[in-house]
Amino acid sequence: MSAKPLDVAAVRSRFPALMRPGAGAFLDGPGGTQVSDSVIAAISGALEAGIGNLGGAFEASGHSEAIVAAARSAVADLFDATPDEVVFGPNMTTLTFAVSRALARRWVPGDEIVVTRLDHDANVTPWRLAAADRGVRVRTVEFDAADGTLDVAGFHAALGPRTRLVAVTAASNALGTVTPLADLVAAAHEVGALVYVDAVHHSAHRLLSLRGLGADLIAASAYKFFGPHIGMLVGRRDLLESEDPYKLVPAHDHGPDRWETGTQSFEALAGVAAAIDYLASLGEGADRRSRLETAFGAIRTHETALAERFLTGVGEMPRVRLFGITDPGRLEDRVATFALEVEGVHPRVVAERLGERGLYVWDGDYYAVGVMDRLGKAPDGLVRVGFVHYNTADEVDRVLAALDEL
Ligand SMILES: Cc1ncc(COP(=O)(O)O)c(C=O)c1O
């Protein structure tokens, strides 16, 4: 089904933070997105209705159980999985530390794992530390500094019979590059390795399918896709059941909650379901997954137009240097996240000047330390301008004009 075009004015009217009088242009989506009115209502509604802990014999405990079930079902639709394949945790980093420790229990000296230089450090250091604990070798796949694409040949070369795990991003939070996940997953599985996908940056822009990809584990964070601050892990049921998480004795032995340590933020979980329902409301279809598919089609069309406009504009500015894919003909392979520098102006000063004009952009390394090392931009990093579906062509023009004036 073809997607109905995105009505950006209608979209923006759903985001109180964007509509606040005097609000700036939120071009910091890669660092965290704003939330829709329905997310705010769901969070406060959950708290207003009365929340009890899980497993109690009274009504408010039932509220929390319903919230958890609804959140698992919504996230399952977002990642084309089943509700019992959805685990929640404080954020992606904490979940990745937990999973890396659990998977590493089965590693033995001489085993190997693969990480990439394109990844956010949250998908590198937890694995490195787990590998060091177990005497496991870490192979690092590079990316092409000229266009920010993963070195696919290098990836294949890094795989071997002792590879136990591959940790790879779906999209770079610095350069916006999208990785060819299906091929990477297939190659990793051929050597018997598990694949842990960091979908944190990808999830605001494109839809993934656990089933379709055949990936083993996908990690994401709701605050990057218009929801509240809470992380999630979507994993193959048999894997979640067969691996051994570090857990307390009375915690469940079966089901996704065996991976969930302590008490979850029920109010945030109410917000997660609302964020996914908001995204689905942008699409059409008989069920939530098909509405999400059409919604992300419309989001992609809109973001591609913004990216093209931005790339064309920056291409005319000799003092602005953009990293990653710069060819407007290759927008399939990148999302609308741009790392750049302005000749002779420190990234922090660029961000401050733009901030004074109500243009909210990030600067620094955004924890993509491998990217900055490879580009020779550590420790100061680069300016990052990110567009998501609630951004407008006018905001692109405003940031272009401001960059030109610097
Ligand atoms: C690509 C990517 N991965 C992982 C993370 C870490 O996510 P969290 O803040 O949920 O730990 C981020 C946060 O910026 C990110 O952009």
187-196, pLDDT tens digit by residue?
A: 999 999 999 9
Name the fold adopted by 8-35+289-405: Aspartate Aminotransferase, domain 1 (3.90.1150)
- pLDDT for 367: 98
Share of residues in the chain with pLDDT > 70 (%): 99
What is the per-residue pLDDT across 126-145, written as a single tens digit (0 to 9) for each? 999 999 999 999 999 999 99
57 Cα: distance to centroid of ligand 1 (angstroms): 37
> By CB neighbour count within 10 A (0-12 exposed, 13-18 middle, 19+ buried), where does 101 fall?
middle
403 phi/psi in degrees, rounded to 5: -65, -40
Residue 147 pLDDT greater than 90, yes or no: yes
What DSSP character marks residue 196?
E
Architecture of domain 42-280: 3-Layer(aba) Sandwich (3.40)
Residue at token pair 């059941």 = 241
List ligand 1's pocket residues with C-beta within 6 A.
Answer: 91-93, 120, 122-123, 169, 173, 198, 200-201, 221, 231, 367
User: Distance (Å, rounded) from C-alpha 79 to C-alpha 211?
Assistant: 8
Chain centroid to Cα 160, Å, comes to: 28
Quote the crossing angle between the two packed helices 288-315 and 59-78, to the nearest 10°.
Answer: 60
Question: Which residues in the chain are classed under CATH 3.90.1150.10?
Answer: 8-35+289-405
- pLDDT for 4: 80
Whose alpha carbon is nearest atom 8 of ligand 1? Answer: 92
Count other C-beta atoms under 10 Å from residue 310's C-beta. Answer: 26
**Beta partners for 339?**
323, 384
121 Cα: distance to centroid of ligand 1 (angstroms): 8
Q: How confident is the model at residue 1 (pLDDT cuts 50, 70, 90)?
A: very low
The residue with greater pLDDT, 2 or 307, is 307
Quick check: helix, strand or coil at residue 9? helix
Q: How confident is the model at residue 199 (pLDDT cuts 50, 70, 90)?
A: very high
Specify whether the CB–CB gap between 54 and 256 falls below 8 A. Answer: no
Pocket test for ligand 1, best of 87, 92, 121 (most atoms within 8 A of CB): 92
Tell me what the mean pLDDT of segment 79-103 comes to: 98
CA dihedral for 309, 312, 316, 320, sign (positive or negative):
positive
Specify whether the CB–CB gap between 4 and 26 falls below 8 A. Answer: no
pTM, two decimals, is 0.98
Residue from 149, 181, 153 nearest 167 by CA? 181
Q: How confident is the model at residue 3 (pLDDT cuts 50, 70, 90)?
A: low
Q: How many residues does the chain have?
A: 406
126 Cα: distance to centroid of ligand 1 (angstroms): 13
User: Distance (Å, rounded) from C-alpha 47 to C-alpha 137?
Assistant: 47
Residue 25 pLDDT greater than 60, yes or no: yes
Share of residues in the chain with pLDDT > 90 (%): 99
CA dihedral for 275, 221, 179, 191, sign (positive or negative):
negative
292 Cα: distance to centroid of ligand 1 (angstroms): 22
H/E segment holding residue 185? helix 181-190
Count other C-beta atoms under 10 Å from residue 55's C-beta. Answer: 9
What is the per-residue pLDDT across 148-176, written as a single tens digit (0 to 9) for each? 999 999 999 999 999 999 999 999 999 99
Q: Which residues, 6 or more positions from 340, have their beta carbon under 8 angstroms from its beta carbon?
A: 314, 320, 321, 322, 323, 382, 383, 384, 385, 403
Residue from 331, 400, 388 nearest 29 by CA? 388
Residue 311 pLDDT greater than 50, yes or no: yes
CA dihedral for 239, 111, 213, 95, sign (positive or negative):
positive
User: Distance (Å, rounded) from C-alpha 226 to C-alpha 218?
Assistant: 18
Residue 284 pLDDT greater than 80, yes or no: yes
Quick check: helix, strand or coil at residue 58? coil
Residue at token pair 């904490």 = 94
What is the per-residue pLDDT across 210-269, written as a single tens digit (0 to 9) for each? 999 999 999 999 999 999 999 999 999 999 999 999 999 999 999 999 999 999 999 999
Mean pLDDT, all residues of the chain: 97
Pocket test for ligand 1, best of 87, 173, 181 (most atoms within 8 A of CB): 173
222 Cα: distance to centroid of ligand 1 (angstroms): 10
Question: Which residues in the chain are classed under CATH 3.40.640.10?
Answer: 42-280
Q: How confident is the model at residue 2 (pLDDT cuts 50, 70, 90)?
A: low
92 Cα: distance to centroid of ligand 1 (angstroms): 6
Rg (C-alpha) for the chain, rounded Å, is 21
223 Cα: distance to centroid of ligand 1 (angstroms): 10
175 Cα: distance to centroid of ligand 1 (angstroms): 14
- The minimum-distance atom of ligand 1 relative to the CA of 93 is 11
What is the DSSP secondary-structure string of 322-383?
EES---GGGGGGB-SEEEEEETTB-HHHHHHHHHHTTEE-EEE-TT-HHHHHHHT-TTT-EE
200 Cα: distance to centroid of ligand 1 (angstroms): 6
Count other C-beta atoms under 10 Å from residue 91's C-beta. Answer: 17
The encoded tokens of residue 92 equal 């992606």
User: Distance (Å, rounded) from C-alpha 353 to C-alpha 402?
Assistant: 8
